[in-house]
Every structure is written in structure tokens, then in C-alpha cells.
Chain A
Amino acid sequence: MRLPKFSCLTAIVAGTGYLLLPGTALAADALNSGDTAWMLVATALVLFMTIPGLSLFYAGMVRSKNVLSVLMQCFAITSLMTILWMVYGYSLAFENGGSVNAFVGGLSKAFLAGVTVDAMSGTIPESVFMTFQMTFAIITPALIVGAFAERMKFSAMLWFMGIWLTVVYAPICHWVWGGGWLGSWGVLDFAGGTVVHINAGVAGLVAAIVLGPRRGFPTTPMPPHNLALTVVGASMLWVGWFGFNAGSQLAADGTAGMAMAVTQIATAAAALGWLFSEWLSYGKPSVLGIASGAVAGLVAITPASGSVGPMGALAIGAAAGVGCFFAATRIKRAFGYDDSLDVFGVHAVGGIIGALLTGIFSAPVLGGSGLGDGNATILAQLGAQSVGVIATMAYTGIVSLIILKLLDGIMGLRVDEEQESQGLDIALHDERGYIL
């Protein structure tokens, strides 16, 4: 693999599409109201993906005695990450960190100093860019919830998420999008295949293993209590994801348009991929399967959405649908861990499939719009993608483990047997989700 030189900061822009550093006067662009209008909407769409999209998707899949606990976790994470992002998260992720800039940003924009009404980030107000990125900082930790569902203490969860945002999400975000080392290696991650999905997926796996399986797993039946909610949630994720992918262009233009188109194509291909895989394997197509397949496709197309074409999207979607089906059904049971809602099987595996195939299908010869800067061949790009994948997995895996072990020692991560049996809604919140 030919190692690309650390080119100057402006070279990051190509391929990934939008790495203009906010706050610096690189190009004092005039405000484009079309871009701004779209980004305001995209921000709302991505928030919608968490509340209530992901919330409902997960809530329907747990047992009824834990429905509120999942909704509560997502809602609380939304609130907490908002404040932390404002106080220091945005700055750590996107500001120049000086001597450590390859790894993490600095605190010059702590408390959003300098993010005024007139501050710009490219052609959109910096306030919009900051809030848009905030919604990503919200959904990434929220994804992890699925891995430890039905057994984690609410207090420990809040601590874990707050620390995780600070030492895992902000640095990795900085590596890829904020001027850090992965971006300068020409790694293509348009909307967060590594930053969001592989990151959350691996952290989820670690959490599932550290917390241990739910009482009664795997012999006690724990079927989803309300798949109707799950499908509603998955549908909201699908629609909201247009904000996630097309919004990552930070502009209302052709690339955003193509990002929306390839998102749709990949998701549909993945939904069908999982559906038919399941139909062939088990004899009947299921609603949970088609919804999960769609989410897998959305995850896989995320890193590719800015640089692949329709045929590439078709391939990526199909691969993710089939691949994640096997990951969530066969591999999970082979290893025996209780990743309750398949955060690893769908987000990590889907993210890895997407990240690697991005390296292939971004090539113009395969309908893409171009490889990452500094990578002349598909092989070189695949190399860069692999580095991104491995570095993310290793970092999030190790650091998440450390945070979890520390918190386990200080306060304990898991509820006790009686609380788990009673259900977290009553045990932790004194509430019932359904009083029928």
C-alpha cells in the first residue's frame, strides 16, 4: 500500500466532500440560502432518526417490561450529548488541536465561543453545521443502547455515555472529519460509516460482553413485544437517513442529490437481500427481517453515499443485506454473546462492509465520483479504508472496555437479578409503559 503524504489541509476536501474547517477564514464563502435551508432540514431529520426513529426501533424489540427504559435511554442521551457537545464536544471534534491535531482538536470553541449568528462554515452558518454534527454525536451513543438493553443501570449508562462522547466519539470524529489523521490519509467516510456505525457497533459488542447476557439468555424466550413499533421506527430511520447522508454534503447540490438516490437504492437492495436470505434459510420472510435488512443497508451506504453511483449502491446494499443477516443470526449464536438488539451484527458488520466496498465502488470506472485524495488505485483506497476500519475498531474497543471496567468498579454497571426480573421500567423508573 502506497502511503499517501500528509498533504496540506485543503486537500482533505476532495472525495469526502466537506472537510472545510469551521472558524478559519480558508474561504470566506457567502451564505447560500439553498444550502442553509437544506441543512436546517437535514439537521431536523437526523435528530428525528434518534427521537423517535431509533427509540421506537429498539423499544419494539425489547420485552414490554423494559419498553420505557429504552425510550428513556435514548431521550436522556439526546439531552446529555446536546449539552456536552455544546460545552466541549464540538470544539474537541472540529477545532484545530495544535500539536495533537492529528489525534484530537482543541478547546478554542468550548461553550461555542465564536459560534455567533454570523459565523460561517463554508456556505452555511456555523450554528447549523454545529447542530448538524451534534445530531450525529447524539445518535452514535444512542446506537450502543441496543447492545446492553434490558440490564444496564441508568446512572452507569449516563456516565458511560458522557465519558464515551468525550474520549471516543470526539477523537474519532476528529480523525475523519475534523482535520485528523484518517482524513488526511484519504479515507472515504462520507456520513459516518466508521465514525458512527463501526464505532458504536464495536463499543456495543464490548458492552454486551462486559455486562454479560440477560438472565435466562439464551434459553428463555425474549421475543420482541411490539414489532409494529419496530417497523415504525425503522421507517423513520429510513426517511431520516436522507438527512444523515445527503446532509453530509453540507450543501444542496448534485452530490447531495446522488447521496439521496444511492441511499434509497442501497437500503431497498439490503431489505430485499435480508428478506430473501431469511426466506431461503428459514422458510418464511419476516417483518423484523426486512426492517433489519433496511437498516443494514442504510448503515452500509453511509460511508459510500458521497462517492458511489447507483450500481455501486445496489452492490453495497445487497452485500450488507445478506452479510448482516448472517452476522445477526448465525455468527451471534456461534459466539454466544448477548448483543440484545444486534448492534454489532448490523452496525459494525454493516459499517465494515460499507467502508470496504466504498473503497472499491468510489472508483470512476465503477460508477463512482472518485477515490480519496492521495489514493490513485482501488487497492490503495482499500488500504486506506482498512486502516480506518481497524484503527476505529481497535480504539473504540479498547477505550470503551476501559471506561466500562472503571465504571463497573466504581458503581456497578448492571441491575441486580430482582430488578432485571421485575423489569427496568418499574425497577429504575417506577413507571409502566402500558397500563391496559
Chain B
Amino acid sequence: MIQPKKIFRTKDGRLGFEWNDGFRGACSIRELRLACPCALCVDEHTGEKLLDETTVPNDITLVKVQSIGRYAAGLTFSDGHNSGIYPYDKLRELTEKA
């Protein structure tokens, strides 16, 4: 099970994770917002993306990051969006790409 050992931010304002498999990486906040898996952003049944990317500001920032049980993190963004639950394996993938 992938879990975070450390959470940090980078100089350029990205959210960084150190995972328990030793991997370290970071992801831009906008990238995280666009990847939000919540039912407002992605259709639950078809998986179709409902979020209009043009409505997400380029300078969006993160307000809060908190644990959801033992498998995910909840993110609160500066646009007020906070309904996404990001499983750790998905977050690790996101921090890997960047």
C-alpha cells in the first residue's frame, strides 16, 4: 500500500510528496485541480470529464491538504473546490509525471 512519509511544497509552489517506496516528486496545483476525481468534475457513471478546464485559474493555489482514512488525501483549493478525494496511488502517479 502506497502511503506518504512526508508532504512539502516546492519553491515554485507545487505540492510535493515523499512516498513510503522511496519515491519523491511534486505536482503543480493546477494539474491536481484538473485531475480532481470528484462527482462534480467527472461523471460517476460514464467517467466523462465534466470540469471545464478553462474555468480553472492558472494561478490557482492550494489551501489545505488532509488525510482521508488511510488511503487518500483531501485537497482544498483556492477556488473553494474541496470535494475531491485523491487516493494515494493516484497522487503518486500525478507526482511522478511532473
> Does chain A bind chain B?
no
